[in-house]
Structure 1
Amino acid sequence: MTKTRSAPRIQTLVDKLSRRDRLSDDEIVALKKALEPPRSVAVGADIVREHTRPSASTLLISGFSARYSSLEDGSRQITEINVSGDFIDLHSLLMKQMDHGVVTLTECVVADAPHTRLIDITERHPHLARLLWLDTIIDAAIHRQWLVAMGRRSGLGHLAHLVCELYLRLQAVGQTGGLGFELPLTQSVLGDALGLSTVHVSRLISELRAEGVVQWSGGRVEILDWRRLAEIAEFDPTYLRLQSEPV
């Protein structure tokens, strides 16, 4: 892990929070002051290890990471994919000991927010604290949708749902172009997220291509037919809370 020289870049976080409610200038300043200088983390490194007790929460400035739980045989289940603007372990402020880890899926830039500074935000900026609390609630909503997908959706519906979700989450932080976005994840990583083998993931991607709903090549996804993709996924974006509502 290496530190960068620039100040924390929080625009992706501001963009995401602002989709839900307006941030004041004072609140944006408070977010900046809460963060340590950004640092780079290599691909495949743990940002947070299972069973540790973090003293800071981590903002993902760029790249992709994932929450995961490990099994004794060395396999893992990814329980959420993190994108730019996500506080990947904000819940550690109150959770204390982590019951899961967070690993980088690409090279990432992150910035730490010491828990002491986050506590100060809860005391001095209650509206901002409520917005950050909403962020953790949405994390829980994402986990519920992943549980439904894992247990009840077909493999094709599960993958389609993941594509719909990631597109809207990336769009909220300005990381899409039209209906396209970068998704530089291996089929092995997608398999860990979907609970499927890499062979099965490859077949499902080919099936989505054959349906004419996506063009998926070289780590980039272009959605060709959003309506049909959402239909396959039975996708309802309510859980992402992307509308503006005062908190």
Structure 2
Amino acid sequence: MNAPDNSSQDNADNGAPRVRREDFDPNRTESLARLDGLRRAAFQRIRQAPNAEQLARRRSLLGFAKWALPGLALVLLSSIAAWPEISHLMNQNRAALKEMARLRVESGNMEQATYRGLDAHDHLYMITARTTHQQGPDRVDLVDPVADIQLSGNSWAHIKSDRGVYMQHEQTLTLDDNVVLYRDDGLLMNGPSADMDLKADVIASRDWVHAEGPFGKQDAQGYFLDQHAGIMQFTGPGLTVRNDDNGPPSAAARLHLQGLKTEK
């Protein structure tokens, strides 16, 4: 058998210091005294009861929190429910801003302008132009104007030119250069100028005009067209070619020709 190792006991007997743990120090009088002093100081601290003002302040804070917290939760829930509509409105406003930027209004000039109104018979008309220039509170100069007019019986007319002047209060439109009028009944008219009374549905011109339609062809030095009353008049000397002039003669024409042959 091996003999026990007594080196540690020998080192202790030789006077070497021993390692001691503080938590197992038998002499804890100093630490106990410090803890007892802290405990006595805590017992000596006197807690005062809140007075009436402090109690009222606490009750008011509790009452405010009682209503504020549910109200805040309701606002959050409402914002979550309303967010799709808010997003839709934001997108609409963004689209409107883009449209306004596209129109680009500078010194009374406007691009892609549109004017709408009603005539004396509550028929809608609309005037559009590539560019416009405001000349005072009433007159508007137009470039490439186009007028779409609603007529009686669900019919319509379309007229355009290179230049025009629109008087907003008078509801008149003066067209110049390459005036072209087309109506849904097949009437097509070309001329250098035309004056329109949008309120009365009247179009007139003192310049030459070339017209084609179901009736045939007509060249004249002017015309008057009342679209509500259905009146179309050509003024001055001109040339008329009716569609039935190129067809077979009518019964009355045949009888007239037979009478001429009998007399011979």
Q: TM-score per shorter chain, which class?
A: under 0.3
Larger Rg: 2
Q: Compute the TM-score of the two structures, normalised by the length of structure 2.
A: 0.19
Q: Compute the TM-score of the two structures, normalised by the length of structure 1.
A: 0.20
The structure with the largest strand share of the pair is 2
Question: Which protein, 1 or 2, shows the higher relative CO under an 8 Å CA cutoff with sep ≥ 6?
Answer: 1
The structure with the largest helix share of the pair is 1
